[in-house]
């Protein structure tokens, strides 16, 4: 399997979602997605302290559709135990070994059995390489030495009200906010417009900011 296919499989598993625009992914799409990551890395802003702890809920996506599904991302600082566990699970499946000890963040998604170990990459703040734990989620394990390092660009936006996470190869982009202060529809759309990534899809539709809900009544 190519790097791209592995990334795609992981994305699909992760989101239990087959609505990824995979047919559009070819070499030219990868180049385009890498460019988008570079663009997102201009004026980077990312701080671990502002991201770890409480969940982030996905409210908008590009190149993937969640519709009414509400999915949360949780970021944790890594510990030696976490790194040991993920490296034990994954080292023999990796096409290329990361510097395991350099892992900084663990991201879990949906149920905690979907996890991604992240390593700060060179370049802009918020650039990361990632190792998906494809053993823990209980699916058929990948072929030996086949899993590439994934690449992501993360950025905090609008006084850290929003977090964007872009997969630099597949082009799946997630825009998340804190579920205890869900974004107003207008706020979400203006943030989407600023990003200039074109049209994507609202996610977790049906959940309303409670103030907005009152206004609509």
Ligand X SMILES: *[C@@H]1O[C@H](CO)[C@@H](O)[C@H](O)[C@H]1NC(C)=O
Residues that bind ligand X (CB under 6 A): 48-49, 52, 77
Mapped onto helix, strand or coil, the DSSP state of residue 62 is strand
Closest separation in Å from C-beta 52 to ligand X: 5
The token duo for 141 is 């394990």
The phi-psi region of residue 155 (left if phi > 0; otherwise alpha if psi is between -120 and 50; otherwise beta) is beta
Q: Give Cβ neighbours of residue 174 (< 8 Å, ≥ 6 apart).
A: 58, 60, 61, 73, 164, 165, 166
Residue nearest to ligand X (CB): 77
Closest separation in Å from C-beta 76 to ligand X: 8
The token duo for 117 is 């170990």
Nearer to ligand X, 102 or 144 (CB): 102
**Where does residue 118 rank: exposed (0-12), middle (13-18), buried (19+ CB within 10 A)?**
buried
Nearer to ligand X, 68 or 77 (CB): 77
Nearer to ligand X, 86 or 175 (CB): 86
Closest separation in Å from C-beta 107 to ligand X: 14
Mapped onto helix, strand or coil, the DSSP state of residue 92 is helix
Closest separation in Å from C-beta 158 to ligand X: 22
Nearer to ligand X, 102 or 215 (CB): 102
User: Residue 69: what are its φ and ψ, rounded to 5°?
Assistant: -70, 135
């Amino acid at each position: 399997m190519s790097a791209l296919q592995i990334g795609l499989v992981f994305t699909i598993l992760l989101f239990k979602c087959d609505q990824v625009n995979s047919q559009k992914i070819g070499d030219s799409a990868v180049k385009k997605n890498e460019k988008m990551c570079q663009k997102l890395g201009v004026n980077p802003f990312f701080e671990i302290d502002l991201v770890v702890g409480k969940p982030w809920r996905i409210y908008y996506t590009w190149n993937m559709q969640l519709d009414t599904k509400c999915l949360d991302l949780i970021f944790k600082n890594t510990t030696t135990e976490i790194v040991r566990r993920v490296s034990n699970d994954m080292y023999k499946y990796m096409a290329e070994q990361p510097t395991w000890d350099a892992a900084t963040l663990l991201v879990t998604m949906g149920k905690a059995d979907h996890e991604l170990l992240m390593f700060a990459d060179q370049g802009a703040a918020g650039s990361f390489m990632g190792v998906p734990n494809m053993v823990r989620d209980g699916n058929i394990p990948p072929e030996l030495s086949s899993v590439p390092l994934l690449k992501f660009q993360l950025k905090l936006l609008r006084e850290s009200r929003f977090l964007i996470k872009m997969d630099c190869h597949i082009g799946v982009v997630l825009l998340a906010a804190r579920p205890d202060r869900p974004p107003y529809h207008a706020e979400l759309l203006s943030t989407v417009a600023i990003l200039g990534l074109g049209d994507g899809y609202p996610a977790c539709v049906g959940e309303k900011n409670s103030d907005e809900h009152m206004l609509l009544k």
